[in-house]
Amino acid sequence: MRFDIITAVPELLESPLSHSILKRVVDKGILQVFIHNIRDFSSSKHRQIDDYQFGGGAGMVLMIEPIVKCIEKLQSEREYDEVIFLTPDGDLYNQNTANRLSLKKNLIILCGHYKGIDERIREHYITKEISIGDYVLTGGEIAATVLIDSIGRLLPGAMSDETSALTDSFQDGILSPPVYTRPAEFNGWKVPEILLSGHEAKIEEWRYQQAVERTKERRPKLLKDKD
């Protein structure tokens, strides 16, 4: 799978891609991530990529020309399944979206910055708009790493135990159950006896019941959406 990230601040993407599962999937060749600096596509001598809003107003806007040049260059080289723009007014990101995107081959992700991007880019080039939450970030770079991480970990070979991702919260529309590890008793606090029984069927039944109860308590809307 390939991600092409278009950004005004490429440095913000370096660290998340250099550690943990993301580094492993990139090193294995399971995932390819290419970062493109918008300034490299500016026709300005000073590599300008932003300008004032027409009609006035606070905040600068990413210019249309450098972004279009970058997108069209990439699209001339290969076919892309989606051109994604990360924006607070996009569709709210969830596990189902991550699952669907993990089946794609090539994705472009455009990171917004400043006050946003020229609307004509959204009208003519963007195929999917995503928000990671109802709040505003300085730019889309952090949101891009959220997408790459959540999608990358789903790819075959990304995790040593490939069943692990299937038992994460939200995969079945509910939260994960509580988990425990050694020691079985600490400060008088004991692990539930069922988990020490070795009875796999009963353990799975307990975990499911715990997951449902936790979801009812913390995220009841998930159960309503599931129905």
179 confidence band (pLDDT: 50, 70, 90): very high
Q: Are 207 and 172 in contact (CB under 8 A)?
A: no
pLDDT surpassing 80 at residue 227? no
Bridge partners of 91, per DSSP, are 130
Could you give the domains of the chain?
A: 2-152 (3.40.1280.10), 169-226 (1.10.1270.20)
Average pLDDT score over the chain: 92
Q: What is the pLDDT of residue 19?
A: 87
pLDDT in tens, 52-65: 999 999 999 999 99
pLDDT in tens, 85-113: 999 999 999 999 999 999 999 999 999 98
Cα-Cα-Cα-Cα torsion 117, 123, 126, 128, nearest 10 degrees, comes to: 110
According to DSSP H, which parts of 28-173 are helical? Answer: 64-77, 95-101, 119-124, 141-152
Q: How far is CA 168 from CA 136, 162, 178, in A?
A: 27, 11, 11
Of 19-23, 77-81, 101-105, where does mean pLDDT reach its minimum?
19-23
Q: Is the pLDDT of residue 180 over 90?
A: yes
pTM as predicted: 0.88
| Residue-wise pLDDT tens digits, 153-173 | 999 988 766 555 655 656 678
Rounded CA-CA distance 196/173 in Å is: 27
In which residue are the tokens 């997951």 written?
A: 211
Burial zone of 8 (CB within 10 Å; 0-12 exposed, 13-18 middle, 19+ buried)? buried
